[in-house]
Amino acid sequence: MKKAMISALPDLGYAGSEAVNTVCSNLMFSGKNIKTIVVTSCEPNDGKTFTSMQMAFNMAKRGKKVLLVDADLRLSQMNARYGIELIGSGTGMTHFLSGQCALEEALYETNIPNTFLLPIGRAVQSPLSLIATTDFSDMIQTVRQSFDFVVVDAPPVGLVIDAAEIAKCCDGSILVVTYSDTHVRALREAKQQMERTGTPILGCILNKVPLERITSKKYKYGKYGYYAYSQQHEKHE
Ligand SMILES: Nc1ncnc2c1ncn2[C@@H]1O[C@H](COP(=O)(O)OP(=O)(O)O)[C@@H](O)[C@H]1O
Ligand SMILES: [Mg+2]
């Protein structure tokens, strides 16, 4: 298998690590059929990619074989922001979905133990023609069989329909919410859009909570606290 190096791993600090631990523990108890999870939010920069990566690493540390899927096919920042270097020809999902390579040639083993990556390949202007296809859902089903846990990092649901299309092929979705920035109305619309896919919303992650909001002294590390919760949403707005 091809290799990828992930070099810019953000340090979470104590509070952040504990919060990601809580999210992943909750996911482990979401049921054995919850293996493929799409992460989305209302807007760019809410922390979808950051959160997807942290969840992937945390699950991998627990001994799970994890695949991180970069599905922000228009505007992926994953490689640039997190120092990811693909060794070799750089083929990825768009190459596979357009018939230019086999799935094995789009998958990478990373330097983080148990963590694998499916990068975008080349950015495309109209990803829906690749995502809203049986090839895409077949691909998700195939990786679902080969990995214990698959995190799909999606574009924001408020701007384009891609995330909802991706969710249709996944077992569950997670919404990342930026503390004191995500608007309630936008969040409600995002929630409704994701609900229409028929795939359950597993919970929300409240991201970028300022440290002073986390009262306990033992949490005074790092730039942001990273508080998260996960809950079933059927009866909540
Ligand atoms: N909890 C956090 N703590 C520290 N930095 C964060 C956190 N969440 C996101 N960031 C930073 O915010 C920026 C946007 O995050 P990113 O995950 O790339 O957003 P998105 O994928 O939603 O567009 C990145 O520089 C990322 O490192
Ligand atoms: Mg992103």
CATH number at 9 reads: 3.40.50.300
pLDDT at residue 151, rounded to an integer: 98
pLDDT band, very low/low/confident/very high, at 216 (cuts 50, 70, 90):
low
Task: Please indicate, yes or no, if residue 232 is contained in any of the structural domains.
Answer: no
Ligand having the closest approach to the CA of 74: 2
Task: Please indicate, yes or no, if residue 15 is contained in any of the structural domains.
Answer: yes
Q: Say yes or no to pLDDT of 72 above 70.
A: yes
Q: Say yes or no to pLDDT of 56 above 80.
A: yes
Of 29-38, 48-57, 156-165, 214-223, the range with the lowest mean pLDDT is 214-223
Residue 142, CB-side half-sphere exposure with 13 Å CA sphere? 13
Task: Please indicate, yes or no, if residue 134 is contained in any of the structural domains.
Answer: yes
Distances (CA, A) of 71 to 87, 146, 198: 19, 18, 19
Q: Say yes or no to pLDDT of 224 above 60.
A: no
Residue having the nearest C-alpha atom to atom 10 of ligand 1: 47
Q: What is the mean pLDDT of the chain?
A: 89
Q: Say yes or no to pLDDT of 228 above 80.
A: no
Per cent of the chain over pLDDT 90 is 79
Distances (CA, A) of 134 to 165, 166, 231: 11, 11, 30
Task: Please indicate, yes or no, if residue 91 is contained in any of the structural domains.
Answer: yes
- For residue 164, what are the domain limits? 2-225
Return the ligand 1 atom nearest residue 156 CA: 22
Residue 181, CB-side half-sphere exposure with 13 Å CA sphere? 16
pLDDT in tens, 14-53: 888 999 999 999 999 998 899 999 999 999 999 999 999 9
pLDDT at residue 227, rounded to an integer: 46
Task: Please indicate, yes or no, if residue 235 is contained in any of the structural domains.
Answer: no
Q: Say yes or no to pLDDT of 220 above 60.
A: no
pLDDT at residue 10, rounded to an integer: 74
Kindly give the distance from the C-alpha atom of residue 49 to the centroid of ligand 1, in angstroms, as a whole number. 7
Q: Say yes or no to pLDDT of 234 above 60.
A: no
Q: Say yes or no to pLDDT of 221 above 80.
A: no
pTM of the predicted protein model: 0.91
pLDDT at residue 158, rounded to an integer: 77
Q: Say yes or no to pLDDT of 236 above 90.
A: no
pLDDT at residue 65, rounded to an integer: 98
- CA separation for the pair 71, 117 (Å, rounded): 11
Kindly give the distance from the C-alpha atom of residue 154 to the centroid of ligand 2, in angstroms, as a whole number. 7
- CA separation for the pair 25, 32 (Å, rounded): 13
pLDDT in tens, 100-118: 999 999 999 999 999 999 9
Domain count, the chain: 1
Task: Please indicate, yes or no, if residue 234 is contained in any of the structural domains.
Answer: no
Per cent of the chain over pLDDT 70 is 89
**Ligand 1: lining residues by beta carbon, under 6 Å:** 10, 41, 44-50, 77, 81, 207-208, 223-224, 226
Contacts of 218 (CB under 8 A, 6+ apart): 14
Task: Please indicate, yes or no, if residue 233 is contained in any of the structural domains.
Answer: no
Residue having the nearest C-alpha atom to atom 3 of ligand 1: 224
Task: Please indicate, yes or no, if residue 237 is contained in any of the structural domains.
Answer: no
